Chain A
């Protein structure tokens, strides 16, 4: 149980285009999902907290107009990188907060999406 999927697993796009990444909780409902960014050989950096049915909460320094988050259902959150530039190239990982079967705010992570902007 507690499986989270991400799609696509990797994407290459041209500078100036927009890219949408999907995060799905497959066997549980997740009212809260998180989006992280990870640079090579570094830890995870929280970008935003996504709550179903409400606006996402962005961490300081993360542009909400650049990284659009939509959490339209209890099993799906999307991250859209708008007008992507080479510096947006990174490994993006989502996670979903356990649905109450778990007690300790454990997060279950997706496999990540490798974004390369040319």
Chain B
């Protein structure tokens, strides 16, 4: 069974601080996606990483895929209250079904 462990589970920081969220697995994924979800809404896709060692930037968010495609990280620089939400990583299994394995999520709270 492929598992995706996400940490930390909860994170409460002050505006302006930096933070990193990690997703780790013993399995290799064909791609890994990061989503952000706000209460009462569906997850919104932030980025997809595919190549081992790949780094993608989305404004203050930096996403990295591990060289072996087993782990990924999300780094937020100078966090803002608008970054508050549940961050989910999801690994894609091989094959055409497109099934995703989700991490348990990181609940981020950024206080002004």
A28: chain B residues at CB < 8 Å are none
Interface size on A, residues (CB 8 A): 26
Q: Which of A44, A49, A95, A97 has the most CB of B within 10 A?
A: A44
B98: chain A residues at CB < 8 Å are 32, 34, 97-98, 105, 107
Interface Cβ pair total, 8 Å cutoff: 62
Q: Say whether chain A's binding surface is mostly helix, strand, loop, or mixed.
A: strand
Interface residues on B, range: 20 to 34
Among B14-22, B56-64, B68-76, B100-108, which stretch is in contact with chain A? B100-108
Cα of A106 to Cα of B104 in the assembled complex, Å = 18
**Which A positions have Cβ atoms within 8 angstroms of B?**
4, 6, 32, 34, 41-44, 46, 49, 91, 93, 95, 97-98, 103-112, 114
Name 5 interchain pairs, CB-CB below 8 A, sorted by A. Answer: A42-B105, A98-B98, A103-B50, A104-B31, A112-B40
